[in-house]
């Protein structure tokens, strides 16, 4: 983790510091760890404002989400029952890199700002999928709390271009 620690130090900035201390949103992994983690890592028990990592065996619902270079998610509006574990199959139909990151609007906006300043930053969490052009990745998430949440693509510029969707948990 030496490299990522150095990188965090070099980033500086109040926003990042605040984001790091206030939420578990930003933690850092390297590209080479990206693809293996979901198979290898145990399911995190960490509770977030918008739920927790889901057990694929308990997935009640599968939702296919397409991402396009038109900077849109399809579907972009989702309604989920509280408590349900959802498997998202996230497909990138574009020629650009896209990602689906689930969170609160506040956290997504903060994260998008950090990404604009540090576009090469790599990070990975169970509530995000970085998807190369033509590829498919999955997220398994349990929505343990009711409310209105969002998902966005935080590749610099994409969120601002409207690449954001809404999840209502009831
Ligand atoms: Cu995107």
Distance 130 CA to ligand 1 centre (A): 9
Distance 141 CA to ligand 1 centre (A): 20
Distance 137 CA to ligand 1 centre (A): 14
pLDDT value of position 39: 54
Beta pairing partners, 117: none
Distance 166 CA to ligand 1 centre (A): 15
Given a contact cutoff of 8 angstroms between Cβ atoms, the answer to whether 120 and 38 are in contact is no
pLDDT value of position 37: 46
Average pLDDT on 37-49 reads 79
Q: For 60-115, how does the pLDDT look when each residue is reduced to its tens digit (9 = 90+)?
A: 999 999 999 999 999 999 999 999 999 999 999 999 999 999 999 999 999 999 88
Minimum mean pLDDT range among 4-13, 36-45, 96-105: 4-13
Which residue from 151, 160, 142, 169 is spatially nearest to 67, judged by alpha carbons? 151
Instruction: Give the chain's length.
Output: 170
pLDDT value of position 123: 81
Given a contact cutoff of 8 angstroms between Cβ atoms, the answer to whether 108 and 115 are in contact is no
Distance 99 CA to ligand 1 centre (A): 6
Distance 78 CA to ligand 1 centre (A): 18
Residue ranges near ligand 1 (ion) with Cβ within 5 Å: 98, 153, 155, 158, 163
Average pLDDT on 19-43 reads 50
Question: What does the alpha-carbon distance between residue 27 and residue 20 come to, in Å, rounded to a whole number?
Answer: 8
Question: What does the alpha-carbon distance between residue 46 and residue 159 come to, in Å, rounded to a whole number?
Answer: 26
Distance 71 CA to ligand 1 centre (A): 6
Distance 124 CA to ligand 1 centre (A): 16
Distance 94 CA to ligand 1 centre (A): 9
DSSP collapsed to 3 states, the chain: CHHHHHHHHHHCCHHHHHHHHHCCCCCECCHHHCCCHHHHCCCCCCCECCEEECCHHHCCEEEEEEEECCCEEECCEEEECCCCEEEEEEEECCCCCEEEEEECHHHHHHHHHHHHHCCCCCECCCCEEEECCCCEEEEEEECCCCEEEEEECCCCCCCCCCCEEEEEEC
Q: For 29-39, how does the pLDDT look when each residue is reduced to its tens digit (9 = 90+)?
A: 444 444 444 45
Give Cβ neighbours of residue 49 (< 8 Å, ≥ 6 apart): 103, 104, 107, 145, 147, 149
Q: For 119-148, how does the pLDDT look when each residue is reduced to its tens digit (9 = 90+)?
A: 777 788 999 999 999 999 999 999 999 999
- Model confidence band, residue 7 (pLDDT cutoffs 50, 70, 90): very low
């Amino acid at each position: 983790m030496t490299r990522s620690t150095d990188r965090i130090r070099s980033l500086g900035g109040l926003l990042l510091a605040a984001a790091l201390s206030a939420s578990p949103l930003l933690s850092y992994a390297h590209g080479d760890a990206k693809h293996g983690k979901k198979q290898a890592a145990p399911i995190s028990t960490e509770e977030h404002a918008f739920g927790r990592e889901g057990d694929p065996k308990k997935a009640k619902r599968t939702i296919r989400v397409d991402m396009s270079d038109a900077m849109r998610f399809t579907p972009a509006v989702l309604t989920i029952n509280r408590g349900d574990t959802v498997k998202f199959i996230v497909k990138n139909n574009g020629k650009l890199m896209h990602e689906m990151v689930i969170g609160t609007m506040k956290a997504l906006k903060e994260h998008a700002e950090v990404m604009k300043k540090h576009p090469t930053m790599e990070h990975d969490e169970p509530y995000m999928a970085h998807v190369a052009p033509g590829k498919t990745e999955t997220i398994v998430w349990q929505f343990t709390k009711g409310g209105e949440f969002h998902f966005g693509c935080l590749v610099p510029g994409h969120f601002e271009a409207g690449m954001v969707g809404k999840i209502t948990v009831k």
